[in-house]
Structure 1
């Protein structure tokens, strides 16, 4: 069980696998007013930076589930590094359909809503692990401006324009599912740059270290095309944010 190899290569040096900086992740934790001892479930937890830093800074405990063996191992090492391994655990597994026995005060899926077949299904999944009065966190792309053509949408790595909503429509969709939006923290172009551009150096270093790997042609193709594609499309059209929801 693993995610596609291009991601485990290009994001192997990332601590945060979405367009958030450490500062924005800390802002999100502070905005949620996390009480010490709050239990957090993170489906698609990546390298564990959210759980680990929130355990250090806000005294939470929690569990993260991720399909990548590499990222899961990095998360465990990060927990040890920050001295919070007694409060957070990381499980290599499929987050799709995962429901915890111990209800959480915060149930999160930050950038992996495919686990529930989209935003609506992921909210339904997270709600099964949430205690009464708890908060659901959804990390999801949206259109900063509507792409003028389907070509622009596919340049943003969407299948079509209909894959994402503009921000007002995304916020309205949470209400139609019976949730109040109680907080949000949005990526900006700088945090997008840090997420995307950091991949390029990682891929270049990987190519230098693995000249005979058969996967090298795929990495080379991605490194060659990614900077121009990102600058032309995603940087201008694609937004991303984390939205905090409470049931009405």
Structure 2
């Protein structure tokens, strides 16, 4: 099974495909000072929930980039149902090669740094999408400490500690001005949402040739979360602004 198909099965029904709540997404938008004059680009926009939340709350305009066709269709429906289609568009495209027609006021990537190969490269890509005073919002996994069991750490070679992420942001020309972390409740809601999606798909597709693969994936992520993930991996969303000059 293609990875994109597995993502659609496991997370396609989740409004926010990361361990974060609508309230926290809105809090970051408020901290960024978003308004109706702001243009936002979201890479890996999933089902369009962040853009719709910011469109409703702050009146932003924007573009969502998403490579999975089914997610694009859902995002378009989300935007349309919220009455935001005149201000927010969805492009079914690869964010890794996307070049905006004009610089944005804010570029966003939540749980999508893998598109560019990691956190540092994601920062470089997002910086290239905003104007000189533009802001970046990036959400990603992080190690809670630097004492992670080696067997588990090897499963996630691109994950950094929070300290390393802050340093990488500075090296990319940003200062962090606000952040929110996933709570245990956020993580449990996200992880068990994936488990329910897997179980539901397996039940509805008893003859599917990939049924066993999805079941193996379900058991793997359950073992991973119960054995290591709850203790060692966090998720954090940063608001990054151009480096403060002295």
TM-score range, shorter chain: over 0.9
Is the Cα–Cα contact under 8 Å of residues 143 and 234 in structure 2 kept in the other structure?
Answer: yes
1:147, CA displacement in angstroms? 4.1
Q: Deviations over 1:63-102 (max 9, x none)?
A: 0111111111110111112111111111111100212012
- Mapped pair 1:73 → 2:73: yes
Match of 1:169 in 2: 164
Match of 1:86 in 2: 86
Match of 2:224 in 1: 229
Is the Cα–Cα contact under 8 Å of residues 97 and 125 in structure 1 kept in the other structure?
Answer: no
Give unpaired runs (5+ residues) of structure 1. Answer: none
In structure 2, the CA distance between the partners of 1:212 and 1:85, relative to structure 1 (3 Å rule), is same
- Mapped pair 1:240 → 2:235: yes
Give me the whole-angstrom Cα distance separating, in 2, the residues matched to 1:211 and 1:38.
48
SS at match of 1:214: coil
SS at match of 1:18: coil
Is the Cα–Cα contact under 8 Å of residues 140 and 240 in structure 1 kept in the other structure?
Answer: yes
Give me the whole-angstrom Cα distance separating, in 2, the residues matched to 1:182 and 1:149.
31
Is the Cα–Cα contact under 8 Å of residues 115 and 122 in structure 1 kept in the other structure?
Answer: yes
Give me the whole-angstrom Cα distance separating, in 2, the residues matched to 1:219 and 1:3.
11
Number of equivalenced pairs: 242
Matches within 5 A, 1:154-165: 154=154, 157-158=155-156, 160=157, 163-165=158-160
Give me the whole-angstrom Cα distance separating, in 1, the residues matched to 2:3 and 2:217.
17
Matches within 5 A, 1:1-248: 3-154=3-154, 157-158=155-156, 160=157, 163-248=158-243
SS at match of 2:95: coil
TM-score when normalising by structure 2: 0.92
TM-score when normalising by structure 1: 0.91
After the TM superposition, list the runs of 4 or more consecutive aligned residues in structure 1 that deviate by more than 4 angstroms. none
C-alpha RMSD of the superposition: 1.6
Q: Deviations over 1:141-195 (max 9, x none)?
A: 11012344221224xx41x4xx322212221221122211122121122111111
Q: Deviations over 1:199-233 (max 9, x none)?
A: 11111111111111111011111223332321221
Give unpaired runs (5+ residues) of structure 2. Answer: none
Between stretches 14-23 and 114-123, larger displacement belongs to 114-123
Give me the whole-angstrom Cα distance separating, in 2, the residues matched to 1:103 and 1:225.
41
